[in-house]
Structure 1
Amino acid sequence: MDPMSTMEQLVAELNKLNYHYYTLDKPLISDKEYDALYDQLVALEKESGVVLPDSPTQRVGGELLKGFVQHRHLAPLWSLDKAQNVDQLRSWNARVTKLVADYNSKNPDNPLPQPSYAVELKFDGLTLNLTYTDGRLVQAATRGNGVVGEGILAQVKTIKSVPLTIPYQDGTIEVQGEGIMNLSVLEKYNQTAAEPLKNARNAAAGALRNLNPKVTAERKLSAFFYNVGYSDNIRFESHKEMMDFLRDNHFKVNPYISYFENFDDVTKQLEDIQERRAGLDYLIDGAVVKIVDMRTREALGYTDKFPRWAVAYKFEAEETTTVLESVSWEVGRTGKITPVARVEPVELAGVTVQNCTLNNIGDIERKNLKHALGTRVFIRRSNDVIPEILGKVTEESDGEEIVYPEHCPACGFPLEQRGAHLFCNNRLDCKPQIIGRITHFASRDAMDIETFSVMTAEQLYNELNVREPADLYTLTFEDLIKLDRFGEKKANNLLAALENSKDRDLASFLFALGIPNTGKSTTKMLADHYRDLHAVMNATVEELIALPDVGGIVAESIVSFFADPFMKTGIEKMLSLGVKAKAPEAPQVVSTDSFFSGKTVVLTGTLHQLTRDEAAKRLEALGAKVTGSVSSKTDLVIAGEKAGSKLTKAQQLGIQVIEDEDEFIRLLNMEA
């Protein structure tokens, strides 16, 4: 195919994709796939010297929807040139440095300063342009084509983080920002929504471009602001001064904004943002690097499409599309049957993805995936775990049906549906359940049996008939030495690890049992409160509900678990074989006059000088209450390396944060 025909096809395809993305808010492919097609067209245009009249490289944005009033921006909303790797970013900076040097050689009496840089997050939402006259919000518009947008004032007024009036009352200004839906808000919304939303970006865009403002209000959107695009009176000397102006006028400015004199520090900051990205409570697809000095921005000016003084640094895509090929069903240690999707291999965030999460059959129904085999689906990477399927690309039920199993895929036992989940109740003779329970029992946060693995559990199940955790304590050297890959050393190491595990405390033992709906914090609370295993086993629902953070479902789970004769027999067998499950030591004297006394503290991120558990114990000894989530009741957040959404929330709430681990250790030691 000749280059001209290829260009014509690319232009037609890209214009179709632009229409679906910008006008209908229903993208057909991921940003990563779009960028690849766009870059291919740019290369062909450069090579041939020909640009077709309707090429998307010659315009920005999409067509306007009918039903909205057009709004002409007072100043254009520019697109940003993009850099997809550090080399391209350095090329942008080299151009900036050269332009500054050229200007200074021609203006020696009034030179520009050496470039300094602001680094901000690049949000994945819908651009907003707000107009304020004499301190009052008089218009809000979408970006549109950068010159004319759509008036959405009624919709934007439903966003509580958007000020309706501001202190600055000296004329007219336009303020740009991004309308977003927080991921936690999206998750909560989808729990009760009749039609769940596929992703946060579409949720925000769809809400802001809905003709019914009530629908917008239901989405509980937020917004971050980052630019004053027009002002008839005020001028700024620097980007920092502009950000201070926005904050002073009650605009929500994202806390992740940094300033640097050295460009090498910019690249380090971009690496840091990428590491923290998965922990954020909103979508970003990159970062924006801007020149700080406003006079330099004016001197550098604009190309036909982009400002020369800013560039968008694109991260690896966290969302893409691929074909759903099949669904298999896996059995967990509680008997829960989980669907696992097999997809056509696709690159996502630097790795090849073939398997994706589907939580349960309710998830399949909510996401319109019941008839989706063989069709394209959206997938998203989150927190470096197995990617999740968000939904079908199209709304039609045009694929093959996902058939729900009626019998356990492992043991053939009839399945029971409880809520949105399927369960196999054959806990005594279902291999994956048994292996899962034994592996969990031996895990680090439970009985911490060193050298134990899921492969060990499977081998013991197959060759030594180990069917429950209690059976582990009946193993002998003669049993183990005859197994494949078990020499004398390995057998002795496992027996020594089993013997050591008998001294684990009550909290670890309770967690190791795998009581449904209880985690580490709940089992620790039970151990601290009852201080005796049999007291926990005999607790009533009424007693448990009266304890902190225990609701009806958790209380029922605990009581039902210990009422099971199989579980009770196994526990008594372990006690008879030497497992102590001893109560915690008597509470130590708690300080009442330390820096931490009376404070509610949250630990987040990685600490290097002590573990999180050690830090929590020391804080509690100094009179602090250590909790797992940040709220308005939190007094202090200790943020270690790679702290994520908890740190962000603390900064947004204005909560005191200690990010210097040395300072944290100093305060602990000072009060010790």
Structure 2
Amino acid sequence: MDPLATMEQLVAELNKYNYHYYTLDKPLISDKEYDSLYDQLVKLEKETGVILPDSPTQRVGGELLKGFEPHRHLAPLWSLDKAQNVEQLQSWNNRVLKLVSDYNSKNPDHPLPHPSYAVELKFDGLTLNLTYTDGKLVQAATRGNGVVGEGILAQVKTIKSVPLTIPYKDGTIEVQGEGIMNLSVLAAYNEKAAEPLKNARNAAAGALRNLNPKITAERKLSAYFYNVGYSDGIKFNNHREMMEFLRENHFKVNPFISYFDQFEGVIDELKKIEERRSELDYLIDGAVVKIVDMRTRDVLGYTDKFPRWAVAFKFEAEETTTILESVTWEVGRTGKITPVARVTPVELAGVTVQNCTLNNIGDIERKNLKYALGTSVFIRRSNEVIPEILGKVTDENDGEEIIYPKHCPACGSELEQRGAHLFCNNRLGCKPQIIGRITHFASRDAMDIETFSVMTAEQLYDELNVREPADLYTLQFEDLIKLERFGEKKATNLLEAIEKSKHRDLASFLFALGIPNTGKSTTKVLADHFRSLDKIMSASAEELMELPDIGGIVADSIVSFFNDPVMQAGIQKMLSLGVEPKAPDKPQVVREDSFFSGKTVVLTGTLHQMSREEAAEKLEALGAKVTGSVSKKTDLVIAGEKAGSKLAKAQALGIQVIDDEDEFIRLLES
């Protein structure tokens, strides 16, 4: 075949695979197969010296640019008026209703329809304006002042969800969207980056306004599109038609778009979006409400600054800046020392924030926070967890130094650095470690000792000399009743809960022990496979590594844990006091003819129609093995919303992925 014809065929094929992978999130082939085709194309381009205009090789970033050229938009890019609360949103709608009513009273023969509404997410990235002529991407620009922006075509070409060519070839159109960096991509980037990025918004904006397109390509940006701002050959009757046009022309349109005939539905939808905001894999700072009918939009028109037919509803900020005042060091149950930052109190996501996590000393170094005391820092809060410091606002080392401790702040023992973490090795004499282990042992997913809390653990440590989980089973009513805040009822309830815990299942008991590098899924694999505590305690690393969820590091952790004489003594003490971890029930007869039978499956991300636990039960009933980590032994990954590193690893290994929840449920039910 003629080399040029082969190249045209490869370009068409690769662009189809890119569209399914990056825009539809439904890959058709493995990464390995894609790379093979891509390499063929690169080889032919080198041999012929020809690069086709829509070749995917143009997405890697070209030479360093000298500067940005101004670009005048064919139609203005408008800002949006903002509503900070429901009252302001209602006022906007009242103005819309009044303008429509006034128009209809003057034009009874051609009245406007009663307003209906579209609700979309308001992305927190960088606005993009793409120009296509006869189906080819010829320019891309920032918003700028709304009339003139900066040309960033070379940078935007690196975004693989941006089509280089589209089926619509009848003249020129301008399409608007938002360039973003997914939070999972940011996290993966920062794990390896010498200079981590401070947040997803700045990462996307900085990449797109960087004169080196290769840097843009490294950040693996994405983009969603939501508007056709200019067209010299096509008109739309309503917003639905416009969105369908964008989808048909291979633009990535966000699935979270809803339509409502009544304004009450809009308000309910905004509440739902704010509730699920933390589940998204990208930043949003609100939602946009638009009138659906295009003729109504034309009639309502614009003020000097804003369209009257749309409004942005702003959510509480999830990111802000404040002053880093001090750092303290806390000791966890494993002996790990965690830095906790005290910041100047600031309102964030509806709460007053005073403390933030810094993770470890490696994190402090990577985020350029070593000399940050007394300076401004970015902080982020999401998903109801303790806020995280993302980095310094400035890059200068202009603050006081954070001094790393050399001795345990609780017991005074000399600390050891392992990787990015500091550890106190005095596990048997360090109070916070002991209290942490006892509290973990009693927690719901472990031995499930009801009414037990960290305050209970501290009181038992201080007043009854409880030093290990086994000591809980020696407690007597006469001892407890003497304690402050312990009446007869509380003492009785606690002893009954401790007695009940003696018969917890084996997987929960193993999890309660706190074996390093193991979680609930691993302990369940151990319990289901060995069905005996003795067999688990005597298993070799080689035997453990045969299991689907266990690699070398985890296997060594398990073997070392059960070889420790102190741990052995603690377990024997519990067994002698009546603790009898229940082996799993004998496996029920499972179907062997289902799609999932015999497969090793990993669940990741958020499922909306069932919990991950429910999904795991259904999979196991259909003959699947459900594990917690992706490896070469994995056959299938079920990826829900906000799937992160596990999904990325599965794609890198060429493992089959199901990322459509409806398809997953169909397979379960079939």
Matched to 1:302, the amino acid is Y
Partner residue, 2:119: 119
| Residues in 1 aligned to 2:87 and 2:602: alpha-carbon distance in whole angstroms | 42
Deviation at 1:654, TM superposition (A): 7.8
- Partners of 1:128 and 1:484 in 2: how far apart? 64
Matches within 5 A, 1:630-649: 645=642
Pairwise CA distance, 1:476? 1.7
Mapped contact 1:300–1:308 kept (Cα < 8 A): yes
Whether 1:524 aligns to 2:524 is: yes
CA–CA separation in structure 2 for the residues paired with 1:299 and 1:611:
47
CA distance in 2, matches of 1:151, 1:667: 47
- Please list, as runs of the form range in 1=range in 2, the aligned pairs for 1:220-239 lying within 5 A after superposition: 220-239=220-239
Which residue of 1 is the match for residue 180 of structure 2? 180
Letter in 2 for 1:645: K
Give CA deviations for 1:570-616 in whole Å, capped at 9, x if unaligned.
111111111112321211100245798689685876999x9764664
Aligned match of 2:249: 249
- Residue 361 of structure 1 is matched in structure 2 by 361
Task: Tell me the residue number matched to 1:12.
Answer: none
Q: Partners of 1:612 and 1:457 in 2: how far apart?
A: 31
Which residue number corresponds to residue 128 of structure 2?
Answer: 128
The alpha carbon displacement at 1:66 in A equals 8.0
Counterparts of residues 561-580 of structure 1 (less than 5 Å): 561-580=561-580
CA positional deviation for 1:551: 2.3
Tell whether the 8 Å contact from 1:179 to 1:224 is kept in structure 2 after alignment: yes
TM-score by length of 1: 0.84
SS of corresponding position for 1:473: helix
Contact kept, 8 Å, 1:445 with 1:508, in 2: the verdict is yes
**Paired AA for residue 478 in structure 1:** E
Q: Structure 2 matches for 1:129-278, cutoff 5 A? A: 129-278=129-278
SS in 1 for 2:383: coil
1:281-296 matches, cutoff 5 A: 281-296=281-296
> 1:475 is aligned with what amino acid?
L
Amino acid of the residue matched to residue 101 of structure 1?
A: S
In the alignment, the residues of structure 1 paired with residue 593 and residue 336 of structure 2 have an alpha-carbon distance, to the nearest angstrom, of: 48
Evaluate the alpha carbon distance shift between residue 591 and residue 250 of structure 1 in structure 2; reply closer, same or farther with a 3 A threshold. same
Counterpart amino acid of 2:437? R
Q: Which residue of 1 aligns with 2:99?
A: 99
For the structure 1 residues 590 and 421, does the alpha-carbon distance in structure 2 shift closer, same or farther, using more than 3 Å as the test? same
Distance 1:607 1:285, change over 3 A: closer
- C-alpha contact (below 8 Å) 1:502/1:580 kept by paired residues: yes
| Cα contact 1:329–1:340 (8 A) shared by 2 | yes
Q: Provide the secondary structure at the position in 2 that maps to 1:173.
A: strand
Does the CA contact (< 8 Å) of 1:447 and 1:512 recur in 2? yes
Partner of 2:69: 69
- Given that residues 629 and 646 in structure 1 are in contact (C-alpha distance below 8 angstroms), is that contact kept between their aligned partners in structure 2? no
SS of the aligned residue for 2:374 comes to coil
Partner of 1:288, secondary structure, is strand
1:260-339, aligned counterparts within 5 Å? 260-339=260-339
Instruction: State the Cα distance separating 1:325 from its structure 2 match.
Output: 0.8
Give the distance between the partners of 1:399 and 1:521, measured in 2 at CA: 43
In the alignment, is residue 407 of structure 1 matched against residue 404 of structure 2?
Answer: no
* Deviation string, structure 1 residues 425-468 (Cα, Å, up to 9, x no partner): 00000000000000000000000111211111111111111111
- 1:549 Cα offset (Å): 2.5
SS in 1 for 2:140: strand
SS at match of 2:451: coil
Q: 1:611 to 1:395 in 2, by over 3 A?
A: closer
Asked whether the 8 Å contact 1:630–1:646 carries over to 2, the reply is: no
Letter in 2 for 1:657: E
Offset at 1:313?
0.5
Q: Name the aligned partner's letter for residue 427 of structure 2.
A: R
8 Å Cα contact 2:548/2:627 also seen in 1:
no
Query: C-alpha distance in 1, partners of 2:175/2:534?
Result: 63
Q: In 1, Cα distance between the equivalents of 2:591 and 2:71?
A: 62
User: 1-side partners of 2:460 and 2:291: how far apart?
Assistant: 63
Deviation at 1:630, TM superposition (A): 11
Preserved contact between residue 634 and residue 655 of structure 1 (Cα < 8 Å)? no
- Equivalent-residue separation in structure 1 for 2:412 and 2:305 (angstroms): 63
Kindly state the Cα deviation for residue 523 of structure 1 after the two structures are TM-superposed.
Answer: 0.7
Distance 1:629 1:177, change over 3 A: farther
Aligned to 1:584, what secondary structure does the other structure show? coil
> Distance in 2 between the 1:257 and 1:633 partners?
33
Give the drift of 1:658: 4.9
- State the Cα distance separating 1:196 from its structure 2 match: 0.6
CA contact (8 A) 1:318 1:349 kept: yes
Partner SS, residue 661 of structure 2: strand
Partner residue in 1 for 2:378: 378
RMSD across aligned positions (CA): 2.7
Q: Are positions 1:657 and 2:661 aligned together? A: yes
Separation in 1, partners of 2:588, 2:137: 57
Partner of 2:555: 555
Cα pair 1:602 1:630 within 8 Å, conserved: no
Contact persistence 1:533–1:582 (CA under 8 A) = no
Letter in 2 for 1:72: R
- Partners of 1:217 and 1:104 lie apart in 2 by 51
SS at match of 1:299: helix
When residues 350 and 137 of structure 1 are mapped into structure 2, their CA distance, relative to the original with a 3 A threshold, is same
**1:591 corresponds to which residue?**
591
Is 1:395 matched with 2:399? no
Q: Deviations over 1:131-162 (max 9, x none)?
A: 11111111111111111111111111111111
Contact 1:324 1:372 in 2 (8 A): yes
Match of 1:53 in 2: none
Letter in 2 for 1:494: L
Q: Please report how far the alpha carbon of residue 626 of structure 1 lies from its aligned counterpart in structure 2 after TM superposition.
A: 4.9
Query: Which letter does structure 1 place at the counterpart of 2:335?
Result: G
Task: Tell whether the 8 Å contact from 1:135 to 1:170 is kept in structure 2 after alignment.
Answer: yes
Aligned mates of 1:94, 1:145 — CA distance in 2: 29
Change in 2 beyond 3 A, CA 1:184/1:633: farther
The alignment partner of 2:119 has SS state of strand
Cα distance in 2, alignment partners of residues 181 and 607 from structure 1: 23
The separation in 2 between residues aligned to 1:186 and 1:294, in whole angstroms, is 37
Which one-letter code corresponds to 1:282 in the other structure?
Y
| CA–CA distance in structure 2, aligned partners of residues 556 and 628 of structure 1 | 18
CA distance in 1, matches of 2:608, 2:254: 25
Greater mean alpha carbon deviation, residues 277-286 or residues 468-477: 468-477
How far, CA to CA, are the matches of 2:587 and 2:235 in structure 1?
61
Residue 346 of structure 1 pairs with residue 346 of structure 2: yes
Residues 262, 595 of structure 1: alpha-carbon distance in 2 compared, 3 angstrom cutoff: farther
Q: Which runs of 5+ in 2 are unaligned?
A: 1-64, 648-656
Q: Can you list the C-alpha shifts for 1:295-315, whole angstroms capped at 9, x where unaligned?
A: 111111111111111001110
SS at match of 2:290: strand
Structure 1, residues 454-502: CA drift from partner, whole Å, max 9, x if none?
Answer: 1111111111111111111111222222222222222222221111111
- Residue 496 of structure 1 is matched in structure 2 by 496
Structure 2 partner of 1:540: 540
Aligned partner of residue 258 in structure 1, secondary structure: strand
Partners of 1:633 and 1:351 lie apart in 2 by 43
The secondary structure found in structure 2 opposite 1:645 is coil
Distance in 1 (CA, whole Å) between partners of 2:606 and 2:73 is 43
Equivalent residues in 2 for 1:431-510, closer than 5 Å? 431-510=431-510
Question: Which whole-Å deviations, capped at 9, do the CAs of 1:166-205 have from their partners, x for residues lacking one?
Answer: 1111111111110000001101101111111000001001
- After superposition, the C-alpha distances for 1:366-397 in whole angstroms (9 at most, x for unaligned) are 11111111111111102111111111111111
The alpha-carbon distance between structure 1 residues 297 and 123, as it changes in their structure 2 partners (threshold 3 A), is: same
Partner of 1:322: helix, strand, or coil?
A: strand
Give how far 1:106 is off: 1.5
